[in-house]
A and B are shown apart, each in its own frame.
Chain A
């Protein structure tokens, strides 16, 4: 039997001259599951697009890609992968129509039913579906014509952790051979039989998932593994008086109670995590702690009220920097009293201290990566000499390496004697970073 995918010597150069892939060779045997893992910018998306024939106009591809028929495709975010103006049924049936075929009677229904989805809901529009279900519908559509190969590009990254497994299981059931593109090494290890590590456009290491995790050989792979938050986590909480103490906080917006009962104590040098799904009230809690809005009930004891004693780190790092300002101005914004030259020097020092010394302090945020932006944002927070830093999903949207760097930086901030609160839906992150993790569910916090 011929392999489901055979890529040999594939190089891709974009129109602007960027070389995204350099001589990549890969094979996916029939029935095999290969995960391609890499940091953002490693070329893994280009690889997926090349296999699917979706390279943009003007991109130059050399080498060869051989597939056994047209591959099925599962995209990253099910909501953007489905036309919001069309029904889910249309989305599934398009698998046949786009190939110039007529969907056999009942075939779409059978495909979604096979993944335990409700057939009646096919007449609904995507926004009426949940993300996990919609992604399973996409998987059903990808497998509709029984392709020899299915390409899945970050199929779970838009989903909550407990839905990811469901989706991966569905993918495993419906696909023949599978090529999964992911930044998540742990996910790759769990679901793929073989992992290829992509770095700067080239495959640096290939091997069975277990071996790669246990014994990474290439330095890049080692960095990826090292950046994984250790599941065991749990550091000894440093003893000390609580710096910030919240008791029975509550906050409602109109009829909707966002936070119903939350109590928390944070000491200097401590990192406290708050875990919860979206809509559980964690962002509101954070705003209460940051003093951005007053609680309806409960008490909040804060050490002092000088400006800058509490500083935020936001979810969308790039949006949190003024796009028109050079980064040195953003970093040193809290230092309102100093002259520009002095401030610039401080910014250069600060950048060097977090491994961004190579950046020109006059750069504007538009030219930085998301991870670099987040580090700049943390520098701005630190510059105000805060007693408390509140971080809201500080690593969302970042690749593993960048997320690891940001987490490390937050840890350093805490070690400097600042209290840090991190809220996230990512238990792995919190486990590796925090001294103490609380869970919040429907506005009620449990220790």
Chain B
């Protein structure tokens, strides 16, 4: 398990460096240079250039900000909504719980990609719409987890003991319920992050997410699919990036899961 933590952190750090240091060290990812179209990898362009002569590494870095940023936004938004909704359902019980649980049931009864497709279908393609759409699908599992955590918390021996000792409700929630919930949510979110990256880039690949010239990894792959035979480096960059990002999320989630 140590190994998964190390490998996951290393991969995540690599991507973070790419995303954050990219704009400082690399050329403008969106500026076309018609004189330098489709150059193979070289010292000046470590990953070559694309159809418009843009530096692929720079676009990869810019895409890291877009893809990972969007995926993190989805995951964070989903986790935040899920924790609040699940917490409210678990504590309020009664009709509030019933209403929230019903919505969660329905969302969980539909594959998340389908939910995302449905929402994008209604709002229209676009990265912002896609992020919203995927967040709609992402909050349900977190809500269910939080709710069951809160519900079982009431009968957990350590909580009963604390309540009997006179510890206030709020302190019990802060001290006993939330920290455990937080770790669980984190593990679920990390797992979801990988799926979100795949889903996001997949839908962008289909043209339902980021629109050109935004350098989103799936979008970059969509732009370059024609060039696989002649300029394979165009696919290698974003392809490997997605692979690394999803693996990093999976490894970290594994590690978190083992800790619980």
Contact = CB atoms under 8 A, between A and B. Distances in A.
A152 interface: no
A116 B176 CA distance: 51
Contacts of B162: 333
Contacts of A307: 164-166
25 contacts: A307-B164, A307-B165, A307-B166, A308-B164, A308-B166, A310-B164, A312-B164, A314-B157, A314-B160, A314-B161, A319-B156, A319-B158, A320-B157, A320-B158, A321-B158, A322-B176, A324-B180, A330-B158, A333-B161, A333-B162, A334-B165, A334-B167, A336-B167, A380-B165, A383-B165
Given A292-B164, A320-B157, A336-B167, 9 more contacts: A292-B160, A307-B164, A307-B165, A312-B160, A319-B158, A323-B180, A336-B166, A377-B161, A381-B161
Contact of B175 (A290, A291, A322): A322
Contacts of A333: 161-162, 165, 167
B179 interface: yes
Interface of A: 290-292, 306-308, 310-312, 314, 316, 319-325, 330, 333-334, 336, 377, 380-381, 383-384
A328 to B, nearest CB: 14
> What are the 4 tightest A-B residue pairs by CB atom distance, in nearest-first order?
A307-B166, A320-B157, A334-B165, A314-B157
Task: Report the interface size class on chain B.
Answer: 10 to 19
Contacts of A381: 161
A290 B120 CA distance: 55
> From DSSP, what is the main secondary structure of chain A's interface residues?
loop
Contacts of B175: 322, 325
A333 B167 CA distance: 8
B169 interface: no
Nearest to A323: B180
B239 to A, nearest CB: 38
Interface of B: 156-158, 160-162, 164-168, 171, 175-176, 179-180, 183
Nearest to A334: B165
Contact of A290 (B158, B164, B168, B183): B164
A403 to B, nearest CB: 19
Contacts of B161: 311-312, 314, 320, 333, 377, 380-381
A28 B157 CA distance: 45
B159 to A, nearest CB: 8
Contacts of A323: 180
A384 B165 contact: yes
Nearest to B171: A336
A313 B179 CA distance: 23
Nearest to B163: A307
Nearest to A330: B158
Contacts of B166: 306-308, 334, 336, 384
A334 B165 CA distance: 5
| Residue among B161, B176, B180 with max Cβ neighbours from chain A (10 Å) | B161
Contacts of B167: 333-334, 336
Contacts of A334: 165-167
A185 B183 CA distance: 43
B257 to A, nearest CB: 15
A4 to B, nearest CB: 42
Contacts of B179: 324
A312 B166 CA distance: 12
A307 B169 CA distance: 13
A145 B203 CA distance: 63
Contacts of B171: 336
A312 B162 CA distance: 10
Contacts of A325: 175
Contacts of B168: 336
Nearest to B165: A334
A323 B176 CA distance: 9
A311 B167 CA distance: 12
Contacts of A384: 164-166
Given A322-B175, A324-B179, A324-B180, A308 B165 contact: yes
A319 B167 CA distance: 18
